[in-house]
């Protein structure tokens, strides 16, 4: 996968939003649209099913130099040699130290507050997620952290971080103005008729902001 300083658009193959499409089809479209990282998230699938999906999409992502992130299953991530595994706070910190995944820098962690961010950063992850910024159907019970947390992360977090939650083409500019330069987008891209075209809109906008910041 690309170095994190080149990773700005983090997208998902979420089985809740496949709408009858194959994971491999979505993988190709996300890669064509400019994704830098793609997470496989399959909350209702068995480990065997997730393993098969991961093996199916991994060569597609590798061909495009796009990082593969496995959600919730560090054992599967290790087994197939995925680039990263993503875990929620409870999936990592509620375990005794001896049972926590030993992925070291190959781990991404969700955070919902500055205190959680501090705890996550102490675990030396590859990145953290900041969110949900807005209300989102992907996490309907989660309370939005608002742009205030994005501003806090921009001022305080040196480890790569991604803003996530309710980000779409309408809200994206506000998220970027608040200080984010890496974002996660789930349903706003996966619900589009043309996933590659929709993905590209985010990719172009993010790279435009990155170029402007370097001037």
Q: Is the pLDDT of residue 212 over 70?
A: no
Domain encompassing residue 68: 4-213
Look at residue 163 in the predicted model and tell me its pLDDT. Answer: 98
Instruction: Report the C-alpha gap between 135 and 101 in whole angstroms.
Output: 30
Q: What is the mean pLDDT of the chain?
A: 91
Considering only 136-150, 154-168, 173-187, which range has the smallest mean pLDDT? 136-150
Q: How many CB atoms lie within 10 A of CB 8?
A: 24
pLDDT band at 137 (very low <50, low <70, confident <90, very high): confident
What tens digit of pLDDT does each residue of 192-211 get? 999 999 999 999 988 876 54
DSSP, collapsed to helix, strand or coil, labels residue 214 as coil
pLDDT band at 140 (very low <50, low <70, confident <90, very high): confident
**Closest by CA position to 166, among listed 148, 180, 187:** 187
Contact 164, 132 (CB under 8 A): yes
Structurally, the chain folds into a number of domains equal to 1
| Backbone torsion region of residue 19, taken as left when φ is above 0, otherwise alpha when ψ lies between -120 and 50, otherwise beta | left
Percent of the chain with pLDDT over 90: 80
What tens digit of pLDDT does each residue of 93-136 get? 666 565 566 655 589 999 999 999 999 999 889 999 999 999 88
Residues 117-144: b if buried by 16+ CB within 10 A, e if exposed:
beebbeeebbbbbbbbbbebebbeeeeb
Report the CATH number at residue 114: 3.20.20.70
**Closest by CA position to 44, among listed 32, 36, 53, 35:** 53
């Amino acid at each position: 996968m690309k170095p994190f300083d080149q990773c700005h658009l983090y997208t998902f193959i979420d089985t809740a939003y496949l709408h009858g499409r194959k994971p491999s089809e979505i993988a190709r479209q996300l890669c064509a649209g400019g994704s830098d990282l793609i997470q496989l998230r399959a909350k209702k699938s068995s480990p065997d099913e997730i393993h098969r999906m991961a093996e199916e999409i991994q060569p597609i992502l590798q061909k495009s130099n796009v990082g593969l992130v496995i959600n919730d299953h560090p054992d599967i991530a290790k087994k197939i040699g995925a680039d990263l595994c993503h875990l929620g706070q409870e999936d990592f910190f509620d375990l005794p130290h001896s049972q926590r995944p030993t992925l070291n820098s190959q781990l991404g962690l969700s955070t919902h507050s500055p205190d959680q961010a501090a705890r996550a950063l102490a675990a030396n992850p590859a990145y953290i997620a900041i969110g949900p910024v807005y209300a989102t159907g992907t996490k309907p019970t989660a309370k939005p952290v608002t742009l205030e947390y994005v501003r806090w992360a921009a001022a305080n977090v040196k480890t790569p971080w991604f803003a996530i939650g309710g980000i779409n083409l309408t809200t994206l500019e506000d998220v970027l103005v608040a200080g984010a330069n890496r974002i996660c987008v789930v349903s706003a891209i996966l619900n589009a008729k043309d996933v590659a075209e929709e993905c590209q809109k985010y990719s172009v906008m993010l790279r435009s902001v990155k170029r402007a910041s370097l001037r």
